[in-house]
A and B are shown apart, each in its own frame.
Chain A
């Protein structure tokens, strides 16, 4: 019996424990090795399939590395100007209250240029899910300093390390939005281990369930890696994230009402 025949015998319906969700398209991803976006995309796609809401979900993609998120999830998408995704999502959710609307934003997009839009969408309690990927750097433009860049972190625009005395301290957006009455669920997750991915999936599912129950805004921050921007290998990136990011951006749920 050849190895191929042996494998083909194993591939059968009764042995199936995992399969790629059909909501995730087969387009080759442009993300770098070790990037967290791919895992987060997969988790969102799985939740959409499991909740059977593919025909009712509208994603709003940002400007940044995930600008092309619409190439990977088989749902309707709007591509927003830099930072404006919560404004698009606001109108979309209000004009079509029976739909599931989420924004997908990075730290430059949400925490810097889009700070006004996210704060006010949170404050109004728009019935949307916000997926906020915080990897403490601008990825697409080549690794510049973000509002969430850590104290002393070297980036293309903080080549001697971030000087918080001059640039301000890294912004804890989840803590900020959790203070606003309009947010109902605020959580900070990660995706570096199988266990973390399972927790993340539960959080994203809860977000979409909140939309179904018209509970208001669910804010899901994911602390992620940027191997290219951090100039570390994928494995080193995960270690650096655990050592430096997690103490400043502690994982866990800040608010669940």
Chain B
């Protein structure tokens, strides 16, 4: 068993990065995630593991530093919160277009615009449907605990190198600021040059080897025919993610007649709502998508034989509910309940919404 600590979600992201052998972090301060870079600066990982930590001049520069580092075959990451992620959107689509692995952490706050510094889940569309231009997808992991903040750093890198695609941890100010017990991962050494050569030698721009072709990290192809073929390749990769890497969790679903679908903080709230509803005799379960892309569409569809209605609960005006409705395709009623602008719903409110919108009471 690894070190067990009481830590903030944001601090754990930093600790997990050091321990998983991350080569570089490039960030820019923004509330409510600044503790990630602050923790890294205090820890001085360059002296411990050789990990580079740099405060960039902007979110734009930070994500482009990630592009440069990722192009070298290194494990690199950045973190930010909603307005900062909008600035990073350009770099993120370039990463996807150049098929580069990288980890982006988004500790979501309420919007639009400068919005608020309080937690929200109103960046689901941005994370899952695009954000930047072009037909691309991110691997999106949604932690619901401080433990998962730890676990998903390593998992995010693993998946991003598996598919050569950027991955995002889509968390929020609740999980980022909350302190919980966490079992930290054991240290993994950073990859050596030889390991990088073995893993990424066919594409990494770390110096042209004698006798082999030069590597070029680019998202450009002016030939439309080739660009279409490349897009087919990307789409095939996204379908493979859907086939092989959907992650989800079910809670009290065996006898459920109704279903909550919720991720991250909302899923934590819904766990309590399940208990409260069951005390009232309402048999409701919770399906928690862990990967928001690839989305657990099939797993929702498998519930349709047993549930009479679904409530999608999000701290947004209704974003993920669209994916629930696409999965359900009209077979049972699907409604949305959300609080937003930085307001966190109570478990009681969620039960009331279930009764009103789904049970029709």
Contacts and interface: CB of A to CB of B under 8 A. Distances in A.
Given A74-B208, A76-B206, A79-B216, A91 B57 contact: no
Interface residues of A, number: 31
A91 B65 contact: yes
A220 interface: no
A94 B24 contact: yes
A88 B65 contact: yes
Contacts of A117: 57, 60-61, 64
B94 interface: yes
Interface in B203-243: 205-210, 214-220
Interface stretch (A50-58, A142-150, A162-170, A195-203): A50-58
Interface residues of B, number: 38
B191 to A, nearest CB: 11
Given A81-B94, A99-B207, A76 B216 contact: yes
B91 interface: yes
Given A55-B208, A87-B61, A95 B24 contact: yes
B91 A84 contact: yes
Contact of B207 (A56, A70, A74): A56
B253 to A, nearest CB: 44
Contacts of A67: 220
Nearest to A77: B216
Contact of B68 (A54, A75, A87, A120): A87
Contact of A89 (B52, B57, B68): B68
A195 to B, nearest CB: 32
Contacts of B71: 78, 88, 92
A91 B76 contact: yes
A116 B216 CA distance: 25
B220 A79 contact: yes
A190 B208 CA distance: 29
A55 B209 contact: yes
Contacts of B64: 80-81, 84, 87-88, 117
A88 B67 contact: yes
Interface string B39-59: 000000000000010101110
Contacts of B23: 95
Contacts of A120: 56-57, 61
B110 interface: no
13 contacts: A58-B207, A70-B214, A78-B205, A81-B64, A84-B60, A84-B67, A84-B91, A87-B56, A87-B60, A87-B64, A95-B52, A95-B76, A117-B61
Interface of B: 23-24, 26, 52, 54, 56-58, 60-62, 64-69, 71-72, 74, 76, 90-91, 94, 98, 205-210, 214-220
Given A58-B206, A80-B67, A95-B76, 7 more contacts: A55-B209, A60-B68, A79-B216, A79-B220, A84-B67, A87-B64, A117-B64
Interface of A: 54-58, 60, 67-68, 70, 74-81, 84, 87-92, 94-96, 99, 116-117, 120
Q: Which 5 residue pairs spanning A and B have beta carbons closest together?
A: A88-B68, A87-B64, A79-B218, A91-B68, A84-B64
